[in-house]
Structure 1
């Protein structure tokens, strides 16, 4: 992974992962149907920070995703900055949600935070099996890296 990440790339508005999850659930509650929610996900993905080409390596690729996904993190156990990108617009939106919950948090907070927002917003029921697998692979990669820097 890369520890030369820019700490301003993923600013957090919520002070904890739990508050971020509550905010996500509240935002998705404003939409009446899944067409609007998918459009919101796509819009979130379009707002992801630039992901440098040099980070798009096989070592940073998240395997298990149907679309291409790259994820990097610094090695600071107290403030893990995560950066990711996908070639899929909906997956990019999922990445934006994961970064909002997990980026900028301590490794300990990342490890102790279950992604309850996925169920809270109904995402588990509305993702294709391949996207669900990809989301699980991204979460596993984030948790694995948090565990490795927490040691």
Structure 2
């Protein structure tokens, strides 16, 4: 599935739920279902700068040239947010990740319902995911 198709599915899923407490519940559930990150990646090197809570992110380039992300957080809402980002960007090519307009964040109203510190954290998560993609893109171009 393309990044846009995944985003559209998320927007549709969230559009069925009007109440923001219920939407937060959905986000928390996503975080609870996030696959475990390898404990070896829970290091300062994998912490995302700019997040108030601790968020660890790892990315690997698969043999077929796609980026695979794993993450964890010590905050339940933040864990759900990184889970949403992974749902959208995981298993995509570095080029597609770098070109992606992550419109679902605004479309589901997430940006307007986050505190300023969480919004900064969201931007930091997106930035780190794109930095990994950029590094992998450069590595592919050097081959």
Fold agreement, TM-score > 0.5: yes
1:77-117 superposed Cα distances (whole Å, 9 cap, x missing partner): 82100011100100011011100110100000000102100
Q: Which runs of 4+ in 1 moved over 4 A?
A: none
1: distance between equivalents of 2:78 and 2:116?
A: 13
Q: 2:80 aligns with which of 78, 87, 93?
A: 93
C-alpha distance after superposition, 1:32-80 (max 9, x if no partner): 2101000000011000011121110111110100000000001348210
- Pairwise mapping of residues 109-120 of structure 1 onto structure 2 (< 5 A)? 109-120=96-107
Aligned to 1:12: none
Q: Which runs of 5+ in 2 are unaligned?
A: 139-143
TM-score of the aligned structures, taking structure 2 as reference length: 0.93
Unaligned 5+ segments in structure 1 are 1-14
Which of 48, 54, 59 pairs up with 1:62? Answer: 48
Paired position in structure 2 for 1:31: 17
In structure 1, C-alpha distance between the alignment counterparts of 2:73 and 2:7, rounded to whole Å: 22
Is the aligned partner of 1:72 residue 2:51?
no
TM-score (norm 1): 0.88
Aligned residue number for residue 52 of structure 1: 38
Secondary structure at the residue paired with 1:74? Answer: strand
**Which has more helix, going by share of residues?**
2
Structure with the larger RCO, 1 or 2 (CA within 8 Å, 6+ apart)? 1
Q: What is the CA RMSD across the aligned residues, in angstroms? A: 1.0
1:4: which partner in 2? none
